[in-house]
Amino acid sequence: MSAKPSVLFVCVHNAGRSQMAAGWLRHLAGGTVEVRSAGSAPADRLNPVVVEAMREVGIDITASTPRRLDHATAEASDVLVTMGCGDACPVFPGKRYLDWQLDDPAGRDLAAVRPIRDAIRARVEQLLIELSAGTARPGTDAGHASNH
């Protein structure tokens, strides 16, 4: 395992929750974590309301594009965080999994997306603490999945 932990955020369309989580982790980790995101059934583009919600907090995710979850990306990640993809999210042995129960921002207005964005930030901050302490990787005592 490399010295730099890697996190993969997965949701269905890779256009909202997983993109916000990836944006937060890139922003807060300052290059200390390799950040990936993917979807089980990716959309054609990012949710524009999600892009605006992140812009409000100074994070530009416009360069991100939804991508399909593939075996190689999952295998190369230390921690997989799933967000509402249920059985569509495959399981890879030896990986740490977190399942974050979050509302889907699809079809919601900016006022409804802001609390989702802020909940994701809080979870990303906690994950970053765990990664910094070395407890968020498989094979560690605190490497259990948690629901928030």
Q: 41-99 pLDDT, tens per residue? A: 999 999 999 999 999 999 999 999 999 999 899 889 999 999 977 666 667 777 888 99
The overall pTM is greater than 0.85 = yes
List domains and CATH numbers for the chain.
6-133 (3.40.50.2300)
Q: Where are the alpha helices (DSSP H) in 9-100?
A: 17-29, 48-56, 71-75
- Residue 79 contacts residue 96 (beta carbons within 8 Å): yes
Active site (catalytic) residues: 11, 85, 89
Q: Is residue 106 classed exposed, middle or buried when 0-12, 13-18 and 19+ CB atoms within 10 A define those classes?
A: middle
Bridge partners (DSSP) listed for residue 120? none
